[in-house]
Each structure stands twice: as C-alpha cells, then as structure tokens.
Amino acid sequence: MDDSYLQASLIELKKQRNALILAHNYQNNEIQEVADHVGDSLALSRLAAEASEDVIVFCGVHFMAESAALLSPGKTVLLPAADAGCPLADMATPDMVKEWRRRYPRATVVAYINSSAAVKAESDICCTSANVIQVLRSLPDKEIIFLPDQNLGAYAASQVPEKTIHLWPGYCPVHHQVEVHEVLAAKKLAPSSEVEVLAHPECRPVILTHADFVGSTTRIIEQAGRSKARHFVILTEKGVLYELKKRYPEKHFYFPAKDLVCPDMKRISLQQIVTTLQEMKPVISVPEPVCSRARRALERMLNL
C-alpha cells in the first residue's frame, strides 16, 4: 500500500478508535508527518496524560510507551513495534539498582527517563535530559546514584559540583559513538566560519567541550531557532532533522559522517500503525506494584 492510502486509512481509524498518534523526534519522516504531536519522550507522555482520546498510539520505543501508560491510567497505550527497545535502558535492571543501593546506602537514586518502569520503581525520582540539573539541585541529599547514562550524568555533575554523583556505566550507543575528528570535519562542511555545534548531553564529555550549546532534543531545536547563526552541526539522532528543516528552512544543518541513527527508533512504519489500530495491539501496560512505585518517581519529578 502506498503512503497516501495508509494516511487516509489512519485518519478514518483514528476517528473510529478515538485515538491520538504521538511520535518522538527520532522517528522516520513519514511517521512524524502523520503524528498529531511530535516531541521528546516526556512531553509526549504529558500529552498522553492530558489528552481526551481513549487510545494513545506511541511511536517511539518501549520505555516511552511505558511512561505514557504510567501517566495515563484508564487509557489504552499502543506501541506499533513491540520489539522497539532501547539499549541504554537495558543497561540497568532492578536487581542492579538494589545492589548499588547497598553499595551507597546514603545516596538518592535518580533514574533518567530512558529506563524501564521496573527500574523507575526502584528509584527515588526521575529526570530528563532537559531537567536533570533542576532535579539534582532540588534534592536535599548530597550523594546521588545517577543511572543509566554515564555521559548525561557526567554533564550534570559538571553543572552541580556540590553533589557527589556515582555514575552508572551505561550509555546511548548512538550518541556515545561520536568522535572529535568527526565533529571538526562536520564544521568544515559549512561554507561559513559562523557555525554552531549543538550537542545532546548523552554525547561523551570530550565531545561536549567542542559544543556551543548542550541540551535535550527539544532544546536543540529551540536553540537553532534562537541563534543568529545559519549553519549548525547537530550532534544527536538524525530524525531531528525533519523538525529542524520544517521550522527553519532558511538554515543549514550538518551531521557527522558516521550515521547517528537509532535502529529501534526506525522500526515503526505507517503500515504498522494502521495494523495496530485495526487490531488494537500490542498494548503496553505496567502491572502492580511496579506501576504505582514507578509512577511515584515520575510524578515526583513532574511536581517540581
């Protein structure tokens, strides 16, 4: 089936199911085109919670759909690609969190939203790449276990030196692979010396030293609009280019030669969304008592 037929089918199915389609910034272009909202994982989960629709089709990866389910009790959350996981989230397990708690008994556990519901349930509070510094500063405790992304944790630690932060040895394979020489080569692609490097804090610390701006996916997009520069090197997953070009067609964006592509984020197709709404599966839900405990960690963050 061609895209136009699938798009027409989606319009009809959304009405029948009273459904809302949410897509992460890293999704394929055709998915972002049909989504009702495009954004980062937390913004989408908030939208899911506030939406009047009964059904949420979450075009992202498993932990994102879980977060939407945690914040949207009573709604049906569907993930079109049930096998869309996250290698970073898989680098932490509940048993590992318990072991780290025994190792650092006085530490508060801060879980990056890129973690499973089961890991969130063993944590004290969640954070995102956008609010991690705010979350850390809000905690009365001086000692923190930060999981699962060591690079985001290292960046946050550099901004909150008054805290002792124990870094989990996890990382995002997409952001972690960026090399300094690739950043410098990408800058040379711009026809002007007026080029800014916008980097996600999941990149390694040595990469962030070459960045003019460090921020979440949403903040990278916003910074490209605020800046007077016309040329940008973007150090995050390539799916963000769709929104950048749509918002700022007069500006130019460059990526390192190495493809910054998350294969899990690219698993969802238009056909899968149609099939998901036809069959109303796979449904993402979180059983008790994990659900209540994980929701508490998320809501503690949201209440800031």
**CATH code: domain of residue 182:** 3.40.50.10800
C-alpha 300/C-alpha 187 separation (Å) is 40
Q: What is the pLDDT of residue 45?
A: 83
Q: Which of 171, 196, 223 is the last residue of a domain?
A: 171
Domain-terminating residue out of 171, 193, 213: 171
Using pLDDT thresholds of 50, 70 and 90, give the confidence band for residue 42.
confident
Residue 120's pLDDT is what?
A: 98
* Crossing angle of helices 62-71 and 290-302, rounded to 10°: 80
Same domain, 154 and 200: no
* Domain membership flag for residue 247: yes
Per the document, the length of the chain is 304
Same domain, 25 and 68: yes
pLDDT single digits (tens) 254-291: 999 888 999 999 999 999 999 999 999 999 999 999 99
Same domain for 192 and 206?
A: yes
Neighbours of 188 (CB within 10 A): 10
Report if residue 287 sits inside a domain. no
Whether residue 293 is contained in a domain is answered as no
Q: Are 285 and 76 in contact (CB under 8 A)?
A: no
Looking at the structure, tell me whether residues 205 and 152 fall in a common domain: no
The answer for 267, left when phi > 0, alpha when psi is -120 to 50, beta otherwise, is alpha
Q: Is residue 300 part of a domain?
A: no
- Whether 214 is in a domain gets the answer yes
Q: Is residue 144 part of a domain?
A: yes
Which parts of 233-282 fold into alpha helices (H)?
241-247, 270-279
- Residue 292 forms part of a structural domain: no
Question: Is the pLDDT assigned to residue 304 strictly greater than 90?
Answer: no
State yes or no: pLDDT of 75 exceeds 90: yes
- Give the span between the Cα atoms of 59 and 29, in whole angstroms: 12
Sign of CA dihedral 271, 274, 278, 282: positive
Give the torsion sign (CA, 235, 241, 244, 249). positive
Assign 29 a pLDDT band (cuts: 50, 70, 90).
very high
Question: What H or E segment, with its residue span, contains residue 155?
Answer: helix 150-159
User: Are residues 150 and 157 in contact, defined by beta-carbon separation less than 8 angstroms?
Assistant: no
**Domain's final residue, options 137, 171, 205:** 171
- 147 forms beta bridges with 111
- The domain containing residue 98 runs over which residues? 89-171
Measure CA 58 to chain center: 13
Number of domains in the chain: 3
Q: How confident is the model at residue 207 (pLDDT cuts 50, 70, 90)?
A: very high
pLDDT greater than 70 at residue 1: no
Distance CA 48, CA 276 (A): 17
199 and 253 part of one domain: yes
Same-domain pairing of 150 and 203: no
Whether residues 39 and 72 share a domain: the answer is yes
Note whether 158 and 197 are same-domain residues.
Answer: no
Q: Summarize pLDDT for 145-194 with one digit per residue, the tens.
A: 999 999 999 999 999 999 999 999 999 999 999 999 999 999 999 887 78
Same domain, 185 and 238: yes
Instruction: Kindly state whether residue 158 falls inside one of the protein's structural domains.
Output: yes
Tell me: do 142 and 185 sit in the same domain: no
